[in-house]
Amino acid sequence: MKKKKLILNIIGILVIIFAFYLVFFNNSDKLPQKENETNSNNIENTIPEPRNDIQAEGEPYPSVSIDDVEVKIDIADTDALRTQGLSSRESLKDGEGMFFIFEEPDFYKIWMKDMNFPIDIIFISPDFKIIGIENNISPNTYPQTFSPKEKSKYVLEVNANFSSKNNFQIGDFVKFLP
């Protein structure tokens, strides 16, 4: 009889511990989350949602600013969008571009496969600093690839000579506009 009562007590305690675990540790979405540490240049949490219609009318565009020059952007943040890039477009309006977002910093290579117009390629570090600029890259350079000398996490493609016309420099910071 004492053995049976002891076993029932142990089972009861285990049930209480299991219930406690389910209530307090299995609801991670309800637990307070530690805020991401950021500095003034790391504004990754403000990156807008992707859009596939950079020339759509009547809708606000997400934008970035480099040296107070605004660039309306389309975001490529999936493998499919990054692979497509600007290759289906006939052109870009002045002040528009495509902003590529990669999961991890790396030596990403950009090519001009199926491109219809020349572009500038701006490589950007994880802290949103320009680390490389390739100016006036022609579609006929394919299959040549272009990459920065250090790892990038973001790439901005704009019309050819837009970077030099606006005096973008390595070391300039890219900021997202609200």
How far is CA 80 from each of CA 14, 75, 87, 100, rounded to the nearest angstrom?
49, 12, 12, 11
pLDDT at site 88:
81
CA 132 to chain centre: 17
Q: What is the pLDDT of residues 69-95, one digit of tens each?
A: 999 999 999 999 999 999 989 999 999
90-123 confidence digits (pLDDT tens) = 999 999 999 999 999 999 999 999 999 999 999 9
Tens-digit pLDDT profile for residues 48-57: 554 444 434 4
* Beta bridge partners of residue 71, listed in sequence order: 64
| pLDDT at residue 126 is higher than 50 | yes
